């Protein structure tokens, strides 16, 4: 097992495109860190640089304290599971598992022992003599995992390994990967664009955007204390609503005006985010998680009225896309005035809600559930 660190790592392509910009990241021995971000954010490039498949333009990568910038991939003792699995098509499952062991020059007895153990661990015994083309997607994924495990490498690198599987299998294999990693205790860096995978798998989650690290924290902290509006919008399904609104003083405290509704901030919110007091009288971005919005009870005096744009019933919840008097902005570009229709305010209501486009709904918000960001998107602390 090994610890991994990235120090001021950058990557610029010959045409001048900078894909990684000053990355600083530590991955602890035995930790499972998930790198997550939208397509093109540079997360796979980070993994490939660590594997030695891409050169660095600047900075240093260390494995167990040793700089590996100029080390060939063969000499890094890392295992990688690729998005398309990269199984050798001309070899059987056994041949695929044996390949890295033969490259290591292990004895026949040792190779047989490791193949046997890995096959038993991943339930591959019955498939050992099959070629990859005779396997299902899930089986191929397990063989790819097996090839990584059999090597007993210092760390596992996984590049979107579940993205080719159907939704049901993805959930199953995700759980298997988490259990395996916990059992083997191998340092693992897992790259995905799926924030559900990130939240469920990662001991820590690193969110990337445009080649820059946005936040590194345990999943719950990422969800509860996003460092900026991008992270807030990216983590969570559906993403957080962002609304531009003024912060006013109110009876010695602070309140926000959301349309006709005035919400007075709790003492706890003010204590947790002392920076709010400095922004009295200014516009800020208010973050509202869709799941924190609920329908106002009949007779409630302070409720936000909105009109249903579309309604999506998912069975266990109903997503209402709403037109409201609030100034909604996009999470990835909070300063930009949206062209045409502003982003809808999204409410995730538990259970089935028989709303139809054009229906008016009255919504209730709890001030304790609000998130606050400056207009540049940085969280107000």
Partner 1 sequence: MKASRLGRLGSYLALTGLALLFLAPLAMMLAGSLKPNERVLVEAGTLAAFLPVGASLDNYAAVFERTDFLRFLFNSVFITGTIVAAGLIVNALAAYAFARLQWRGRDLLFNLVLALMILPFEAIAVPLFYGASILGLRDTYIVQILPFIANAFSIYLFYSFFIGLPRELEEAASLDGASTLRIFFAVIVPNSKPAFASVAILSFLTWWGSYLWPLLVTIVPEVRPLPVAIASFYTLPPLQWGDILAFGTLMVMPVLAVFLMFQRWFVRGVASSAIKG
Q: Which is nearer to partner 1, 142 or 151 (CB)?
A: 151
The answer to the question of residue 137 lying near partner 1 (CB under 8 A) is no
Pick the stretch among 88-96, 162-170, 196-204, 372-380 that binds partner 1 (CB under 8 A): 88-96
Q: Provide the minimum distance between the beta carbon of 97 and partner 1 in the complex, in angstroms, as a whole number.
A: 11
Q: Provide the minimum distance between the beta carbon of 35 and partner 1 in the complex, in angstroms, as a whole number.
A: 18
Beta bridge partners of 157: 80, 189
Q: Which is nearer to partner 1, 66 or 75 (CB)?
A: 75
Mask of contacts with partner 1, 33-62, x by CB under 8 A? ------------------xxx---------
Contact 288, 370 (CB under 8 A): yes
Would you call the peptide bond into 373 cis, given omega within 30 degrees of 0 as the criterion? Answer: no
Please count the residues of this chain forming the interface with partner 1, following the rule CB under 8 A. Answer: 23
Q: Which of 1, 71, 86, 196 binds partner 1 (CB under 8 A)?
A: 86
Q: Provide the minimum distance between the beta carbon of 23 and partner 1 in the complex, in angstroms, as a whole number.
A: 21
Of 133, 137, 200, 203, the closest CA to residue 171 belongs to 200
Q: Which is nearer to partner 1, 54 or 221 (CB)?
A: 54
Restricting to residues 149-208, name those near partner 1 by CB under 8 A.
151
Q: What's the CA gap between 177 and 181, in Å, rounded?
A: 6
Structure token pair of residue 334: 């909070």
Q: Provide the minimum distance between the beta carbon of 15 and partner 1 in the complex, in angstroms, as a whole number.
A: 16
Q: What's the CA gap between 369 and 381, in Å, rounded?
A: 15
The answer to the question of residue 79 lying near partner 1 (CB under 8 A) is yes
Q: Which residues contact 76 (CB under 8 A, 6 or more apart)?
A: 51, 52, 63, 68, 154
Pick the stretch among 84-92, 108-116, 134-142, 317-325 that binds partner 1 (CB under 8 A): 84-92
Contact 369, 264 (CB under 8 A): no
The answer to the question of residue 126 lying near partner 1 (CB under 8 A) is no
The answer to the question of residue 2 lying near partner 1 (CB under 8 A) is no
Q: Provide the minimum distance between the beta carbon of 95 and partner 1 in the complex, in angstroms, as a whole number.
A: 10
Q: How many CB atoms lie within 10 A of CB 72?
A: 8
Q: Which is nearer to partner 1, 30 or 95 (CB)?
A: 95
CA angle centred on 82, ends 107 and 86, rounded to 5°: 65
User: 172-184: buried (b, 16+ CB within 10 Å) or exposed (e) per residue?
Assistant: ebbebbbebbeee
The answer to the question of residue 108 lying near partner 1 (CB under 8 A) is no
- CA separation (Å) from 89 to 79, 120, 134, 276? 19, 22, 10, 59
Binding site for partner 1 (CB under 8 A): 51-53, 72-74, 76, 78-80, 82-84, 86, 88-90, 99-100, 103-104, 147, 151
């Amino acid at each position: 097992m090994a610890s991994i660190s990235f120090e001021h790592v950058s990557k610029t392509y010959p045409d001048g495109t900078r894909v990684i910009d000053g990355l600083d990241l530590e991955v602890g021995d035995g930790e499972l860190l998930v790198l997550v971000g939208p397509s093109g954010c540079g997360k796979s490039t980070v993994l490939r640089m660590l594997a030695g498949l891409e050169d660095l333009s600047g900075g240093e990568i260390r494995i167990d304290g040793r700089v590996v910038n100029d080390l060939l991939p063969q000499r890094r003792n890392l295992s990688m599971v690729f998005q398309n699995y990269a199984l050798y098509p001309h070899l059987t499952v056994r041949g695929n598992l044996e390949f890295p062991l033969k490259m290591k020059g292990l004895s026949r007895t040792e190779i047989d022992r490791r193949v046997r153990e890995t096959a038993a661990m991943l339930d591959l015994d019955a498939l050992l003599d099959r070629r990859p083309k005779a396997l299902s997607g899930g089986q191929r994924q397990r063989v790819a995992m097996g090839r990584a495990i059999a090597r007993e490498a210092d760390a596992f690198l996984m590049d979107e390994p579940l993205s080719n599987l159907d939704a049901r299998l993805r959930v199953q294999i995700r759980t298997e990967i988490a259990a395996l990693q916990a059992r083997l205790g191998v340092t693992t860096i897992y790259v995905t664009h799926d924030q559900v995978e990130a939240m469920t798998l990662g001991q820590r989650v690193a969110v990337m955007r445009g080649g820059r690290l946005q936040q590194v924290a345990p999943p719950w902290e990422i969800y509860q204390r996003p460092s900026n509006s991008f992270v807030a919008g990216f983590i969570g399904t559906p993403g957080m609503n962002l609304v531009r609104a003024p912060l006013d003083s109110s009876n010695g405290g602070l309140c926000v005006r959301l349309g006709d509704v005035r919400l007075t901030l709790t003492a706890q919110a003010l204590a947790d985010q002392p920076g709010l007091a400095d922004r009295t009288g200014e516009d800020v971005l208010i973050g509202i998680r869709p799941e924190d919005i609920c329908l106002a009870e009949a007779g409630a005096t302070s409720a936000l009225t909105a009109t249903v744009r579309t309604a999506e019933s998912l069975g266990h919840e109903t997503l209402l896309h709403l037109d409201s008097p609030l100034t909604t902005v996009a999470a990835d570009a909070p300063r930009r005035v949206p062209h045409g229709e502003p982003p809808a305010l999204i409410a995730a209501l538990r259970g089935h809600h028989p709303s139809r486009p054009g229906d008016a709904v009255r919504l209730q918000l709890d001030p304790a559930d609000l998130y606050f960001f400056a207009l540049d998107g940085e969280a107000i602390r």
